[in-house]
Structure 1
Amino acid sequence: MIRGYKAVIDDERRGLAVNAYIAVTPIDYSQEAEIPDKLKNIDGIMSCDSVAGSPSFMLTVRVESPSKLEELLNLIHRTVSVSTETTIVLQRYFAK
């Protein structure tokens, strides 16, 4: 039985050469529930996952360049009161 089809987008060909993960920790935990809704329409943020451990959320982001990543981080900090830790992907060996 066929359950569906999917298109695999080449982000580098779309100009999105920088992939990164951003760990997000609220500064004020009373505002934690609002964070995903405030971030969901920001260009460059591909997903927001709730995670166990010290950060509350893990963002997957794709942007054109390191300077665009810096702009995105600045926008996140202007939008919500959080601390962040960013990890840039150097190479993806596989994705399913």
Structure 2
Amino acid sequence: MDGVEPYRLEMQAKAAIGTSANLYDFWDDRLYREVVDDSRIIINLASKEYSRCIEKYLVPDDRYITITFCEQSGDRLVTKGTYAKMARGEMVRYIL
């Protein structure tokens, strides 16, 4: 091992908290309620792992817009993880 400690708590981590079997159960719909407002527009810049916390609580009136960042590679679009993560962060800073 190189001694680098994990710097964030992964949503998929096997972590029982109280009566919750995992972090998805622990957060329940609290994250969804925090991001939704009267406009019902949610711009999703999160990874698939974190998007799950919101998507399962969407209702038909919600306008859920997922933005992906890709590069052209031949005849298809490819997401490059590190660059996509950086682009998501830049987009959040721009929006806020």
TM-score where L is the length of structure 1: 0.28
- Which has more strand, going by share of residues? 1
State the structure with bigger RCO (CA 8 A, min sep 6), 1 or 2. Answer: 1
TM-score where L is the length of structure 2: 0.28
Q: Which has the larger radius of gyration?
A: 2
